[in-house]
Structure 1
Amino acid sequence: MAISRRAILGGGLVAASAAATGGYVFLRGHPEIAGPLGEPKRLFGFAGGEKEGFLTNARVRGLLERRFGLVLDARRAGSVEMVRERALLDQKPQFLWPSSSVLVEVARSSGVRISRDQVIFNSPIVLYSWDRIADGLVKAGFGEPAGGPRYFVDLSKLLKAIIAGENWATLGVADLFGRVRVVSTDPNRSNSGFMFAGLCASLLSGDVVMLDTLGRIDGDVATVFKRMGFKPPSSGKLFDDYIAGGAGAQPLIVGYENQLIEWVLQDAERWKRVEANAPAKPVILYPRPTVFSAHPLISINREADDLVDALTNEAVLELAWEDHGFRGPLGSIGKARNPLLQSRLIDRVDAVLPMPDAPVMMALLDRLTA
Structure 2
Amino acid sequence: MNARRLLAFGLAVLLAAAIGGGIWYSRGAVQLGQQQRIEAQQQVSARGLIGSEKEAFFSDPRVQAALAKHKVSVTVQKAGSRAIASGYDAKAFDFGFPSGAPAAAQLKAAAKAANVYNPFYTPIVLASWRPIADILVANGIASKQGDFYYVANLPALMQLAQGGKRWRDLKDSGAFATAKAVLPASTDVRTSNSAAMYLALASYIANGEQVVQSQAEVDQVLPLVAPLFLRQGFQESSSAGPFEDYLALGMGKAPLLVAYESQLVEYWLKHPDKAKGDMVVLYPKPTLYSKHVLVPYTPAGERVGQLLESDPELRQLAHAYGFRTGGDQHGPETWAGQGVKVPAQLVDVIDPPSQEWLERLIVGIEQRFK
For the aligned pair, the TM-score class normalised by the smaller chain equals 0.7 to 0.9
Contact 1:142 1:171 in 2 (8 A): no
SS in 1 for 2:343: coil
> By how many angstroms is 1:267 displaced?
3.4
| 1:352 pairs with one of 337, 349, 352 | 349
> By how many angstroms is 1:343 displaced?
3.5
Partner of 1:12: none
Instruction: Rate the CA distance shift 1:26–1:202 in 2: closer, same or farther, 3 A.
Output: closer
Deviation string 1:189-245 (CA, Å, 9 cap, x unpaired) is 111011111111011111111223121111110011112221111111111111111
Partner of 1:63: 66
Structure 1 range deviating more: 302-311 or 288-297: 302-311
Instruction: Rate the CA distance shift 1:186–1:340 in 2: closer, same or farther, 3 A.
Output: farther
Aligned mates of 1:260, 1:315 — CA distance in 2: 22
Partner of 1:8: none
Q: Which letter does structure 1 place at the counterpart of 2:198? A: F
Aligned mates of 1:343, 1:56 — CA distance in 2: 24
| 1:28 pairs with one of 9, 33, 36 | 36
Larger-gyration structure (1/2): 2
Is 1:309 matched with 2:313? Answer: no
Instruction: Rate the CA distance shift 1:27–1:105 in 2: closer, same or farther, 3 A.
Output: closer
Contact 1:202 1:209 in 2 (8 A): yes
Contact 1:318 1:335 in 2 (8 A): no
Partner of 2:131: 132
Partner of 1:14: none
Aligned mates of 1:168, 1:224 — CA distance in 2: 16
| 2:272 pairs with one of 268, 272, 295 | 268
Q: Which letter does structure 1 place at the counterpart of 2:115? A: R
SS in 2 for 1:255: strand
Structure 1: stretches of 5+ with no match in the other structure: 1-20, 276-280
Q: CA RMSD in A?
A: 2.4
SS in 2 for 1:116: coil
Aligned mates of 1:199, 1:341 — CA distance in 2: 31
Contact 1:122 1:330 in 2 (8 A): no
Instruction: Rate the CA distance shift 1:150–1:331 in 2: closer, same or farther, 3 A.
Output: farther
> By how many angstroms is 1:314 displaced?
2.2
Q: Which letter does structure 2 place at the counterpart of 1:147? A: G
Alignment map for 1:1-370 (pairs within 5 Å): 28=36, 31=39, 34=40, 39-66=42-69, 68-85=70-87, 88-89=88-89, 92-108=92-108, 111-172=110-171, 173-174=173-174, 175-206=177-208, 207-211=210-214, 212-269=216-273, 271=274, 275=277, 281-312=278-309, 313-321=311-319, 323-329=320-326, 333-334=330-331, 337-339=334-336, 343-370=340-367
Deviation string 1:291-323 (CA, Å, 9 cap, x unpaired) is 1111110101222111111101222112211x1
Aligned mates of 2:294, 2:168 — CA distance in 1: 43
Aligned mates of 1:342, 1:30 — CA distance in 2: 42
Q: Which letter does structure 2 place at the counterpart of 1:314? A: P
Instruction: Rate the CA distance shift 1:351–1:176 in 2: closer, same or farther, 3 A.
Output: same
SS in 1 for 2:86: coil
Contact 1:291 1:355 in 2 (8 A): yes
- Sequence identity of aligned pairs in percent? 27
Aligned mates of 2:115, 2:230 — CA distance in 1: 37
> By how many angstroms is 1:97 displaced?
0.5
What TM-score do the two structures reach when normalised by structure 1?
Answer: 0.83
Instruction: Rate the CA distance shift 1:228–1:335 in 2: closer, same or farther, 3 A.
Output: closer
SS in 1 for 2:46: strand
Instruction: Rate the CA distance shift 1:335–1:226 in 2: closer, same or farther, 3 A.
Output: closer
Q: Which letter does structure 2 place at the counterpart of 1:28? A: Q
Aligned mates of 1:186, 1:290 — CA distance in 2: 19
Aligned mates of 2:56, 2:341 — CA distance in 1: 19
Q: Which letter does structure 1 place at the counterpart of 2:325? A: G
Aligned mates of 2:270, 2:339 — CA distance in 1: 16
> By how many angstroms is 1:27 displaced?
8.8
SS in 1 for 2:251: helix
> By how many angstroms is 1:42 displaced?
1.1
Instruction: Rate the CA distance shift 1:308–1:180 in 2: closer, same or farther, 3 A.
Output: same
SS in 2 for 1:179: coil
Instruction: Rate the CA distance shift 1:222–1:170 in 2: closer, same or farther, 3 A.
Output: same
Structure 2: stretches of 5+ with no match in the other structure: 1-28
Contact 1:176 1:248 in 2 (8 A): no
> By how many angstroms is 1:180 displaced?
1.3
